[in-house]
Amino acid sequence: MTRFDMIVVGGGPAGLTAGLYAARAGRSVLLLEEAGFGGQIVTAPRVENYPGIPRLSGSEFAQQLVEQVLELGVEVELERASAIAQEPGAFRLSAGERAFTARSVILATGMKHRALGLPGEEALTGHGVSYCAVCDGAFFKGRRVAVIGGGDTALQDALFLAARCDRVFLIHRRDSLRGEARLHRELRRRENVEFLLSHIPEEFTEMDGQLRGLVLRNLKTGQRHNLPVEGAFLAVGQQPQNAAFAPPVALDNQGFVAAGESCATNVPGIFAAGDCRCKTVRQLTTAVGDGAAAAVAACHYLNCLET
Residues with catalytic roles? 132, 135-136
Report d(CA 157, CA 236) in Å as an integer. Answer: 12
Report d(CA 212, CA 128) in Å as an integer. Answer: 8
Report d(CA 72, CA 23) in Å as an integer. Answer: 6
Do 19 and 4 form a contact (C-beta atoms < 8 A)?
no
Strands 210-218 and 224-228: antiparallel
Tell which residue, 244, 239, 254, 237, has the closest CA to residue 32: 244
Is residue 281 classed exposed, middle or buried when 0-12, 13-18 and 19+ CB atoms within 10 A define those classes? exposed
**Crossing angle for the helix pair 58-71 and 13-24, to the nearest 10 degrees:** 30
Report d(CA 144, CA 148) in Å as an integer. Answer: 14
Report d(CA 286, CA 160) in Å as an integer. Answer: 19
C-beta contacts of 155-160 below 8 A and 24+ residues apart: 155/179, 155/180, 155/183, 155/184, 155/187, 156/183, 157/133, 157/233, 157/235, 158/187, 158/193, 159/183, 159/186, 159/187, 159/190, 160/133, 160/134
C-alpha atoms less than 13 angstroms from C-alpha of 223 in its C-beta half-sphere: 4
Count CB atoms within 10 A of the CB of residue 124: 20
Strands 238-240 and 111-113: antiparallel
